Each structure stands twice: as structure tokens, then as C-alpha cells.
Amino acid sequence: MIFLFFGLAIPICICDLKNLRIPNIYNLLIFYVSVINAVIFGFPEKDIVIKSGLIIGIFAIVGIGVGDLKLLGSVLLTTVNDPFTFLGFILVMALGHIVVSTAVKGWIPVRIALAPSIFMGMATYLATR
């Protein structure tokens, strides 16, 4: 199932890097993969759902885009056992994205595409589990 996430990651990341938006069709496909994964492997425990909701709520207050929140919610509820550790991986990858963008463009970006950071954070999180 994880391979389906990473198979969809490439077009999602390309679209997010190009437009700074994730179309709903991609989020719908990720949602379908999440539902299939939950049916096969079981639904997440209550504490994971609460922690994931807290993370998504904080991100919504901060002003993260809705497409990124939907993607993050699907990934959090499907593949993650420790949402706060996963959040750390995402933030480190986003910081790396900002550093590379600053080095390439010569100025600090105001907005970045978060989908690549989510998928790279997911890959790093799953590799360290």
C-alpha cells in the first residue's frame, strides 16, 4: 500500500511545486488509498487520531493550505504511529526546502510547496521505524 502513496507522490509534488496547490483529484486518490489501507490493515487507534487532529488543527490555525492539510491528514491516519515524530520529520524537510530555495533563488521564499516535504518526511519516518 505504501508504494501507492509514493506512486502518487510524484505527480502531487510536481503539481504542488509548479502551482503551490494540490488539486482535489489527487487528494481524492490519496483518500481512496487511505481507506483501502485502513480496511485491510485496520483503523488507527484513538490516541493517534487525537494527536493527528491536534497537528492538523494547529497547521490550519497557522495558515497551511487546505490541500496540504488533506494530504497530511490522509498520511497521518494511514502510515504513522507517532504523529509528533512525523511532524518533526516534515518540519526538518520543509526547513531543508527553504534553505535550498534560498540558495538557488537568492531570497527567502514566503510560500513553499509542502507536499514534497510531507512525502520526504514520510519516507524518512518509515525508514527509521
Average pLDDT over residues 39-47: 91
- SS3 state of residue 64: coil
The mean pLDDT value of the chain amounts to 93
Task: Let me know how long the chain is.
Answer: 129
What residues have CB less than 8 Å from 86, skipping those under 6 apart?
76, 80, 121, 122, 125
Q: Are 12 and 71 in contact (CB under 8 A)?
A: yes
What cell was used for 115? 507536499
Quote the pLDDT of residue 113: 93
d(CA 53, CA 35): 17
Quote the pLDDT of residue 1: 72
> What pTM value is reported for the model?
0.92
d(CA 42, CA 31): 15
| Strand intervals (E) in 1-129 | none
Q: Which of these ranges, 2-6, 32-36, 53-57, has the smallest mean pLDDT?
A: 2-6
**pLDDT by residue (tens digit) across 9-37?**
999 999 999 999 999 999 999 999 999 99
